[in-house]
Amino acid sequence: MSTYFNNKVVWITGASSGIGAALALELSSRGAFLILSARNTDKLETVRTGLSNPEKATIVRIDMMDEEMVDQVAAQVKVDYPNLFMLINNAGRSQRSNVIDTDYHVYKDLMKLNYFSVVQLTKHVLPLFYGNKEGHLITLSSIAGKIGAPYRSGYAASKHALHGFFDCLRSEAWHHNVIVTMICPGFVNTPIAHNSVNGDGTKIGKADPDNANGMSPDYVAKSICNAAEKRQEELLLGGKELMGVRLKRVFPSLLRSILKKRSKEAFGH
């Protein structure tokens, strides 16, 4: 069995539910020391008590939309955990709305949470990794980071931006023995649909059939950990939605036709 995570300090954002909580469970079983972060400390405590090794986990509250808090928390984590080995950028939010019906502030908020806060936190830990001459950055993107599908314009834009940033960083960071891994799941059975926002920024608050029938968070977490152990640079996970990525590479015009048809079926024009 690999000892890649054994006694390594791993910081997970968005650890209170979904993929983040599943990652905490999986990493704990692999012997990691965990820093669990999210806004809701009660939910984080529930996750912590369910771990294989709860004594090897600590809770650090953070609101990724609060830039000042991110600066303060990151600075303290670097002092408390100078041997931090891995940052898993998992916090984020999705969106379900037509472009014409989506308020501008919704786009700004999605970019602030899904992209700029990730860049901000990564910039904080990077000097630590460079100084330690090792580190691993794992960022949760999405198939939407590869394909621009209907009703996901803000979400897809933020995920596409992550790929641009981390592809550039990867080309620089390898000199310092820092690994960059991008994770691109398709549909996962998590609360992401419930927490997605409408065009006016209000929560949708209901299930999405695609996500409800998607992969389990446990499966995704195991796959992410296995990919990390192999030092993979990118991992795509999913079912039929992965075909879209392949089509974009080989038959992009066919993919565009499929996406147009999907839009027409939903809106009737």
Question: Which residues are identified as catalytic?
Answer: 155
Ordered strands of the 84-89 beta sheet: 57-59, 33-37, 9-13, 84-89, 135-140, 178-185, 234-237
Q: Would you tell me how many other CB atoms lie within 10 Å of the CB of residue 77?
A: 23
Pull the structure tokens for residue 134.
Answer: 């090792």
Helix or strand (DSSP H, E) at 5:
none
115/141 Cα distance (integer angstroms): 10
Angle 79-82-84 from CA coordinates, rounded to 5°: 120
| DSSP H helix total and E strand total for the chain | 11, 7
In contact, 86 and 10? CB cutoff 8 Å? yes
103/130 Cα distance (integer angstroms): 40
In contact, 219 and 120? CB cutoff 8 Å? no
123/138 Cα distance (integer angstroms): 14
